[in-house]
Amino acid sequence: MLTGHLTCARCGSSMEARSRHHGRTRVYFYGCAADHRRGRSVCDNNLSVPLLSAEDSVVQAVEARLLDSRILAAAATEATARLTARHDEGRFVAVEQDLASVTDELSRLATAIASGGPLPSLLGAVSEREERREVLGGRATRTVVGCARKACGCIGGSTTGYDTCGITTGIAP
């Protein structure tokens, strides 16, 4: 597991996994490759570390660092922020597309009115589209402000129109 990741403190050569017999059992350990292959004239470090104890120590150190509650909390916060940002971006794009569609419909209705179409039904349709455009415009503003709040990390909700980060919302959160 650690071969290629360990180096000798004396010569800088890699430490390699080796084994030898101890009676009827085979024992595995890490030792300096230069000492083993080239001899003491290159490296005089003939110390060896039992393979299992070295690997267990590394696994325990990695577990201690990765399973630290602060690191786990930071990772969860980052993952949540990334997922929320993707969701908000998609929602904003959808609202913008709906807004563009309603604006196009209003343009076509204006053309129909100008060409002399049935006025009462066209005016009713214009009124409906304008209401829809107002609703969509409010959603787009709330989405942008919501994204800005998440980006700066403030809680928001100020009744004065200013959040703790200084963003002017102009709308109730």
Residue 142's pLDDT is 57
Check: CB of residue 48 under 8 Å from CB of residue 27: no
Q: How do strand 15-22 and strand 25-32 relate by DSSP bridges?
A: antiparallel
Mean pLDDT score across all residues of the chain: 75
Residue 88's pLDDT is 65
Q: 47, 25, 27: which is closest to 36 by C-alpha?
A: 47
Residue 28, strand partner residues: 19
Task: Enter the pTM of the model.
Answer: 0.38
Residue 140's pLDDT is 60
**Overall average pLDDT of the 89-107 stretch:** 80
**Overall average pLDDT of the 30-41 stretch:** 85
| Angle, vertex CA 172, rays to CA 166 and CA 173, nearest 5 | 75
Check: CB of residue 37 under 8 Å from CB of residue 49: no
| Angle, vertex CA 82, rays to CA 81 and CA 86, nearest 5 | 115
Distance, first Cα to last Cα, the chain: 53
List, for residues 63-95, the tens digit of each pLDDT value: 887 777 787 788 888 888 777 776 666 777 777
Amino acid identity of residue 167, one-letter, is: I
Q: Where are the domains of the chain?
A: 15-51, 78-150
Q: 145, 139, 141, 142: which is closest to 166 by C-alpha?
A: 145
